Amino acid sequence: MSIVAKARELAHRAHAGQVDKAGRPYIEHVARVAAAVADDSEAEAVAWLHDVLEDAPDYWAEVTRTVYQRQQAAIVALSRTPFKLTASAYYAGIRANPLALRVKLADIADNANEGRLALLDAATAARLRRKYAKAIAALTDDREVRRGG
């Protein structure tokens, strides 16, 4: 079984029963992020597992047995909640890891999709638009990259 297939199978188990803010199965989001980076198997495996550490931490030991250390490092960089990182530290860590950065940009693109935001109440959608705009700026601002975060 390929590393992508293993990651996909693990993601389906880890996110079983979870739903997004619109009440849709959460794995649909994960699958869209993985599809967005499917031209690179390493990024695709990370995309399948990008939210496991935050949303299903009991699966972390299995993640470490499924993917390589480079992919694990990207998944850790993508995981803010368990480490209680500030926004600045979180985005600096992602910028420092090209694999994590590619997956995070795909993640934000999916989360910021207007079709998805339209399913939410207006206040939540507006709050998320602001959040995702700030995230994109933090991840792509050349001045921040030159300063090293």
Per-residue pLDDT, 145: 43
Backbone angles phi, psi at 122, to 5 degrees: -60, -40
What's the number of domains the chain is made of?
1
Domain containing 138 — which CATH number?
1.10.3210.10
Q: What is the domain extent for residue 14?
A: 3-147
The C-alpha atoms of residue 87 and residue 115 are separated, in whole angstroms, by: 26
Closest to 49 in 3D by CA, of 25, 40, 62, 36 = 62
Mean per-residue pLDDT of the chain: 92
| 13 touches 86 (CB < 8 A) | no
Q: The tokens of 89 are what?
A: 């530290």
**In the chain, what percentage of residues exceed pLDDT 90?**
87
pTM above 0.85, yes or no: yes
For the stretch 105-144, pLDDT in tens is: 999 999 999 999 999 999 999 999 999 999 999 999 754 4
What's the pLDDT band for 149 if we cut at 50, 70, 90?
Answer: very low
